[in-house]
Structure 1
Amino acid sequence: MTRDSKLVEYKNLVMDLIKGFEDITFSYLQREENHMEDALATLASMFKVNDQAQMMPIRISIREIPAHCYNIEEENEEDGFPWYYDILQYVKYRTYPAEATENEKRTLRRLAIGYILDGDVLYKKGKD
């Protein structure tokens, strides 16, 4: 029985969709354990699929350790400057690298909006 009148139509839709599956399982999750389901529901609402479409199952694995990580080196191997050097130069002096194309200059300006210079220290702007 569906108590919330707003959910009755969804329940009826689910009951119709069940007929198209060979096997289906429902399980109750506490609200605080429902993050993945909310994300999947949001994804599902972003596109339409017709009834005849072959849907592949989604397999999700939960890992105890990160599958990958990024290691940002302090200095670039090519020129010996830190990765943020061009941003720092633009914020500090409004200058571009000598070999920068118009597209790279535009990208640098866009990136620089997210940083602020305090003395000689470049900070990434945050919400606070």
Structure 2
Amino acid sequence: MIHQLKGEWETRDAKLIPYQTRIKELVKQFDEITFELIPCEDNQLADALATLSSMFKLSKDKDMPLIRIQHHDQPTYFHLVEEVSNGKPGYFDIKEYNKSHEYPPNSLENDKRTLRRLAMSFFSKQGCVV
């Protein structure tokens, strides 16, 4: 779009023509304006916001919805990991099952199935099944 706005490229995509027209109208309201091309990998937040904004129906009579953005020092999944209350690592049950072929006390059938599935691909540092 930047190349089209600068007149370097022609706008051929019919879906982009209304956007280009609207931007050209808005540009007239500024004394000076610059456009910068941002690589896709650096534009993830803008893409996410554009997707999010397309989900709202807006009208002139209603307030716009508030979108709160927070920045975390660690990746989001880090905040979802629960602490193990018993002080044992998350792989403890898998390792014990591979040693003894016994399930943890009070295991439900679904838990047992999951444990068997996980235990099949669990290896120690030496490359042997624990």
> Normalising to structure 2: TM-score of the pair?
0.46
**Higher CA-based Rg:** 2
TM-score (structure 1 length as normaliser): 0.47
Q: Which has the higher contact order (CA 8 A, sep 6+)?
A: 2
